[in-house]
Amino acid sequence: MDFLEAMQHRFACKVYDSRRVLEDSEIQKILEYGRLTPTSFGLELWSFHVVQGSQKKEALFHACFDQESVRTSAMTLAVLVRTSAFANPDGDLVHSRGKRFPDPLSVFIDDYRPYYDFLRSEGRLDCWLKSQGYLAIANMMTGAAAMGIQSCAIEGFDEKKVLRVLDVSSDQWQVSLLATFGYPAEEERPKIRQSLDSLVTYH
Ligand SMILES: Cc1cc2nc3c(=O)[nH]c(=O)nc-3n(C[C@H](O)[C@H](O)[C@H](O)COP(=O)(O)O)c2cc1C
């Protein structure tokens, strides 16, 4: 399946065939699509939590307002992102990430700091951090569709409950987005989309 076909055949799957698990190689491939996703300034202030066990999945199902997609999924994936304190240009985490690039760390920080200050002054740091995870999930969903695996992005969640289920501290992490994956137990739904003519303005 090429990229366009994967886009055309991916649909928001609400119920999976819960008897069909995902092979470990399939899960690793989906995670690799996430790992290779770009992040702003290459900071990768995120982590991916894979939930397959039935007990944790049941708890996540409740943390996601009892959405069947979570309960029946072969895997529910949560993308967490660091809390805003970790994005500080003078912090250890930003330094360790910035040191990975060919230029000296000072060049990286001089580039990053004004944008960080801008986001902070606008009150947009959390929004910026969380938006990174959406790209990863998008790539993982399309990548999964190319393998015949369906998915559904899950924005309907109670953040405090999700963090509790995943056993992580809200001082350190916040939830960007979840997604469920598996083989569908429902028919593919046709796409409902605006036409390009009504959607695009050319300048
Ligand atoms: C960011 C995001 C969050 C979403 N959250 C949910 C959700 O919590 N529950 C759900 O059933 N569908 C959710 N969806 C699925 C959308 O409703 C669905 O993708 C959209 O209606 C388009 O349908 P399609 O994906 O089948 O093309 C979400 C989609 C996106 C992109």
**Would 103 be classed as within a structural domain?**
no
Write out pLDDT tens, residues 16-44: 998 999 999 999 999 999 999 999 999 99
**Would 189 be classed as within a structural domain?**
yes
Going by their DSSP bridges, the two strands 46-51 and 150-154 should be labelled as: unpaired
Confidence category of residue 202, pLDDT binned at 50, 70, 90? very high
**47: which 2 tokens?**
């982590």
**Would 77 be classed as within a structural domain?**
yes
For residue 191, the domain's CATH number is: 3.40.109.10
Write out pLDDT tens, residues 104-144: 999 999 999 999 999 999 999 999 999 999 999 999 999 99
Counting the structural domains of the chain, the total is: 1
Write out pLDDT tens, residues 35-74: 999 999 999 999 999 999 999 999 999 999 999 999 999 9
Q: Which residue has the tokens 């900071």?
A: 43
Pocket of ligand 1 (CB under 6 A): 11-12, 14, 67, 69, 152-156, 189, 191
**Would 187 be classed as within a structural domain?**
yes
Among the atoms of ligand 1, which is closest to the Cα of residue 192?
27
Segments forming the whole domain that contains residue 15: 3-84+130-199
Q: For a pocket test of ligand 1, which of 139, 152, 180 has the largest count of ligand atoms closer than 8 A to its C-beta?
A: 152
**Would 40 be classed as within a structural domain?**
yes
CA-based Rg of the chain, rounded to a whole angstrom?
A: 18
**Would 195 be classed as within a structural domain?**
yes
**Would 60 be classed as within a structural domain?**
yes
Confidence category of residue 1, pLDDT binned at 50, 70, 90? confident
**Would 124 be classed as within a structural domain?**
no
| Spatial separation of the C-alpha atoms in residues 84 and 171, rounded to whole Å | 9
Q: For a pocket test of ligand 1, which of 69, 137, 154 has the largest count of ligand atoms closer than 8 A to its C-beta?
A: 154
Q: What distance in angstroms lies between residue 132's CA and the mean position of ligand 1's atoms?
A: 17
Check whether 152 has a pLDDT greater than 90: yes
Q: What distance in angstroms lies between residue 107's CA and the mean position of ligand 1's atoms?
A: 40
| Residue 75: per-residue pLDDT | 98
Q: Which residue has the tokens 């990229």?
A: 3
Cβ contact 162:67 at 8 Å? no
